[in-house]
Chains A and B, each alone.
Chain A
Amino acid sequence: MDRQDEGARMTTARRTERDVLQELTAEEQQLLKRVLEIERAKLHVKAADLTDELLSSVKAILP
């Protein structure tokens, strides 16, 4: 966690998206991908409340 925070704050310019992804656990990678899929699908609905859908995804990954 500390390593990632440090990365986010200090070495953003040098690090790549791939680096960030590789440092995540399988569950984290899965959730991140799912979250972006949900958000991408609802981009056109500005007022969408996606809390329930996102929560379900978390629970699906960590039942």
Chain B
Amino acid sequence: MRINSIALTNFRQFSGTQMFELRSSSLKPVSLIFGANGAGKTTLLNAFTWALYGTMSDDVEEQHRMVTDIVWRTLPMGRAAELAVEVRFDHEGHDYRLRRSAEVRKQSDEQQKPSAEVQLWQTMADGSSEAVGAPQERIHSILPRGVSRFFFFNGERIEKLVQKGAYAEVQQDIRMLLDLEQVERALEHLPKVDRRLTADIKKHGGERASEIQTAIDDQRDRETSTRDELKVFEGDLATLTEERESVTDLLRQHAGAAPIQKERERVEKELADARAQERTARGERASLVATRGFLAFTDELAAHTAEKAAVLYQKGALPAPLKREFVDQLLENGRCICGTMLVPGTPPWHQVTDWRQRSVLQMVETVWQQLSGQITQLSSARQELHASLQAAVKRITTERERVTRLEEIMSELDGQLKDSRLEDVQQLESKRRDLGVRIGAKLGRIGVLRNALEHAQREIEQKNAERSKAEVTDELAAKARARSDLVQSVRRALEEILAIRKEDMRSRLDAKLKNVFAKITIKRYVPRLSPEFELALYQDVNGVELAVPKSTGENQILSLSFVAAVSELAREIRAERRAEGELPGDAGTYPIVMDAAFGSLDQNYQREVSHALAQMAPQLVVLVSKSQGLGHVVGELTPYVSHLGVIVTHTTSTADASEDIELDGATYPYIRSSAETDHAELKVIK
């Protein structure tokens, strides 16, 4: 299959009808199309798969909005818009025109998913065009949908091809591509043909031949049921093995995460302690403030009071302690302690009476005296409070800092643990043991079934030999026997061919993969394709071969190498002399259409991948942005480029976002702002 052109009509952001020529030669197999982010590269990739299968990849959002938004908006209600993708291609000597289209009638502003019709025309030898009756089936026979993911893909997601668990699907898809499936299906169908033929032997072949045929049929039935059972057990075994691998992975993760988990537990404990310490310190400070906080405000008061007392003392206004009872006694006796008579109304009497008045303040004076004494204590208590508060604040600060630091550590550890789906280790261990036991049981049963199958096959061979020798007089039965012998010979040959092809394909694909990968990678990693089609990378470390944990970039390189190897092998095997007979010259030829072609690869890898793909793919359509495509990629691909184009982004944004792209020494529009409508323009440069 080689694509000659693609035309889009109102397909997503491609308004109107826009066509791009893709016909290429073996010397210049590359078409290079540039586009900014969101320009429509993914849409263009999906236009191919939509035309072929009516589907788009999961990463395309708003899939129901197939008609260009502006076309839909301006379409009067009740009118229909044309939506179509037309792909012209040739395959095994025939030219095809494939068109998937829909008349999308506007019944509301919201678009409904259109129901598209597929049509396929084949150009006949005389140049006339003839519609293919079952277009979708023909397309599937040309390029089955499962297989198409090897040829139409997004470089950023290509690594999924080699991710763990994907290999079963890859193996399934690749069987068809490498001509294994038709052999397997023939082996399924031929026994039914044989049974139909041998019915005549049983009916007309005479007693002996009929008896032998009945025995053969019984053995065949047993063989079929054993084979079916074996298939079920092998399926179960694959499921259990995969489950055990995933449990082992979890355990490995657990082992890896265990020290982090342990550290987290320690930090969590310390954090709880730090938080408690901080709370205690804050409590202490609050208690100090509540019970002794007033002391902070007594400084001025105490100083003022002490100063006032001192002044009063100095003035003598503050007498020494004088008891009121003593003065009363003097006044009652009418004589002072100095012997002066205290006659009422006389100056001495007035003087002592005045003393009495002053002694009335005794209580106050006592308190005054006590207060004077306490002023000194108040000062030291205040200093004490200051020291205590300082200590409390220091502790709070220290604990706060500890809490902050521990919270940061916790968050870091949580981040490290986020991706680990940790279950209980013991539970996982017991699950793994249980799976091991179940796998053992399945393997045992598979062994028994394989033995039974071999036994049945030997029995059938023996009975067949007996059948050949048995006398058959009836002509119809004799003919049936000869035909059955023919079918059985072909069946045996096909069994052997299948075994040869399986091993041959795997080993050749493995060799090609190693070859392509070695050309691309800068590391000394070696890929290996297991008999189960599982892709793994290995590295020789001091003579020991170790599995390499693959990064996203390495998975992308491995996937691209795999695609290139599959593409080359598919062509190669069909060019060889095979049981199917001669095939057309382009048999096994498929285009590779890549969006975001180089994913997240470094520039040196981009260069090598471009080089490898340009040399290996019979037709290569590369959709890239300026940042991905200019430089090394263009440098490598230019000698192989037959078509060059740009998907120009027209945006209604008034921000000055216009940008150009320089290709082949000329400047072309890349982004154009302030446009009347948002749309993509497929501009042909070469």
> Which residues of A are interface residues toward B (Cβ below 8 A)?
1, 4-5, 7-8, 12-13, 15-18, 20-21, 23-25, 27-28, 31-33, 35-37, 39-45, 50-51, 54-55, 58-59, 61-62
The closest CB in chain A to the CB of B499 belongs to: A12
List, sorted by A's number, 28 A–B pairs whose CB atoms are closer than 8 Å: A1-B461, A1-B464, A4-B493, A4-B496, A16-B500, A17-B497, A17-B501, A17-B504, A17-B578, A21-B493, A23-B493, A24-B489, A24-B493, A27-B486, A32-B493, A32-B494, A33-B580, A33-B581, A35-B494, A36-B186, A39-B186, A40-B182, A43-B141, A43-B176, A43-B185, A51-B196, A58-B486, A61-B486
CB-based contact A20/B487 at 8 Å = no
The closest CB in chain A to the CB of B189 belongs to: A50
Question: Given A4-B493, A20-B500, A51-B193, A36–B183 Cβ distance below 8 Å?
Answer: yes
Q: Which chain B residues lie closer than 8 Å to A7 at the CB level?
A: 496
| Complex Cα–Cα for A12 and B347 (A) | 150
Instruction: Tally inter-chain residue pairs, CB-CB below 8 A.
Output: 111
| Complex Cα–Cα for A27 and B193 (A) | 16
CB-based contact B483/A44 at 8 Å = no
| Complex Cα–Cα for A40 and B184 (A) | 11
CB-based contact A36/B193 at 8 Å = no
Distance between B259 CB and nearest chain A CB, rounded to angstroms? 47
| Complex Cα–Cα for A7 and B501 (A) | 14
CB-based contact A59/B483 at 8 Å = yes
Q: Which chain B residues lie closer than 8 Å to A18 at the CB level?
A: 577
| Complex Cα–Cα for A22 and B494 (A) | 13
CB-based contact B186/A15 at 8 Å = no
| Complex Cα–Cα for A25 and B197 (A) | 20
CB-based contact A5/B578 at 8 Å = no
Distance between B175 CB and nearest chain A CB, rounded to angstroms? 10
| Complex Cα–Cα for A54 and B176 (A) | 20
The closest CB in chain B to the CB of A63 belongs to: B479
Q: Does B73 contact A (CB under 8 A)?
A: no
Q: Which chain B residues lie closer than 8 Å to A32 at the CB level?
A: 490, 493-494, 579
| Complex Cα–Cα for A25 and B486 (A) | 9
| Complex Cα–Cα for A1 and B483 (A) | 15
Q: Which one of A8, A33, A35, A45 contacts B495 once the chains associate, using CB atoms below 8 Å? A: A8
CB-based contact B493/A28 at 8 Å = yes
Distance between A10 CB and nearest chain B CB, rounded to angstroms? 11
CB-based contact B503/A12 at 8 Å = yes
| Complex Cα–Cα for A18 and B185 (A) | 21
Q: Does B137 contact A (CB under 8 A)?
A: yes
CB-based contact B497/A20 at 8 Å = yes
CB-based contact A36/B580 at 8 Å = yes
The 7 A-B pairs with the shortest beta carbon distances in the complex, nearest first, are A44-B140, A39-B182, A8-B496, A12-B499, A44-B141, A40-B182, A51-B192
Question: Given A4-B492, A4-B493, A31-B490, A44–B144 Cβ distance below 8 Å?
Answer: yes
| Complex Cα–Cα for A61 and B490 (A) | 13
| Complex Cα–Cα for A8 and B487 (A) | 16
The closest CB in chain B to the CB of A36 belongs to: B580
| Residues of chain B in range 178-213 having any CB-CB distance to chain A below 8 Å | 181-183, 185-186, 189-190, 192-193, 196-197
Q: Which chain B residues lie closer than 8 Å to A15 at the CB level?
A: 496, 500
Q: Which chain B residues lie closer than 8 Å to A24 at the CB level?
A: 489-490, 493
Distance between A34 CB and nearest chain B CB, rounded to angstroms? 9
| Residues of chain B in range 130-153 having any CB-CB distance to chain A below 8 Å | 137, 140-141, 144
| Complex Cα–Cα for A28 and B197 (A) | 16
Residues 485-524 of B, flagged 1 when their CB comes within 8 A of A and 0 if not, give 0110110111111011101100000000000000000000
Question: Given A21-B579, A39-B185, A54-B193, A28–B141 Cβ distance below 8 Å?
Answer: no
Q: Which chain A residues lie closer than 8 Å to B492 at the CB level?
A: 1, 4-5, 8
CB-based contact A17/B193 at 8 Å = no
Beyond contacts A27-B486, A28-B486, A43-B185: 8 other A-B pairs, Cβ-Cβ < 8 A, are A4-B492, A5-B461, A32-B493, A35-B494, A40-B182, A43-B141, A54-B190, A55-B197
Distance between B412 CB and nearest chain A CB, rounded to angstroms? 53
Q: Does B311 contact A (CB under 8 A)?
A: no
Q: Does B80 contact A (CB under 8 A)?
A: no
